[in-house]
Amino acid sequence: MKRFIVFILLSIGIHYVSDAQEDALRLKQFNIENGIALKGYDPVSYYSGKPLKGNRAYMFTYKSITYLFSSQQNLEKFKSNPAGYEPMYGGWCAYAMGKSGEKVEVDPETFKIVQGKVYLFYNFYFNNTLTDWNKNEAELNKKAMLNWNQYLSK
């Protein structure tokens, strides 16, 4: 019986250490500005077709990443499926992640939803990478996933 209790306690301890390590890695790799993801935009609002700025009155932290929401309703939707609403590639430019594996800033209002996930893109100085992404989406997405997984293993 003592061995069983020790095993359970060790298992719980390992789980908490693993979660803490994952959270620290997410904080290191995600696109965060002033402690907030998505430049303060509401991750749920993308699915309405128009991204909205979030409000600090509706704030939620999921696995160490803090998001703002435009309404209590959107906050509750996020809480019901946080992983489903998080942007791909930690909120970095999907095109750059696929093309070169770089973490490049985004315009939070330049996005595309692919298979239920939000992809964000760089769109500054007459350079909209969503246009380039659309020309070779399947290949870029495959490479971006490989590149992003390397960031998450560092």
Tell me the pLDDT tens digit for each residue of 111-134.
999 999 999 999 999 999 999 999
- Residue where the block lists tokens 């500054």: 124
pLDDT per position as a tens digit, 32-73: 999 999 999 999 999 999 999 999 999 999 999 999 999 999
CA angle in degrees (0–180, nearest 5) for 21-63-4: 60
CA-based nearest residue to 94, from 76, 110, 82, 77:
110
pLDDT at 23 (0 to 100): 85
Structure tokens at 140: 């870029």
CA angle in degrees (0–180, nearest 5) for 131-26-34: 80
Q: For residue 3, what pLDDT band results from cuts at 50, 70 and 90?
A: low
Q: Is a pLDDT exceeding 80 seen at residue 17?
A: no
pTM of the model: 0.85
pLDDT at 85 (0 to 100): 98
According to DSSP, the residues that pair with 37 across neighbouring strands are 32
pLDDT per position as a tens digit, 22-42: 888 899 999 999 999 999 999
Report residue 60: phi and psi, to 5°.
Answer: -150, 140
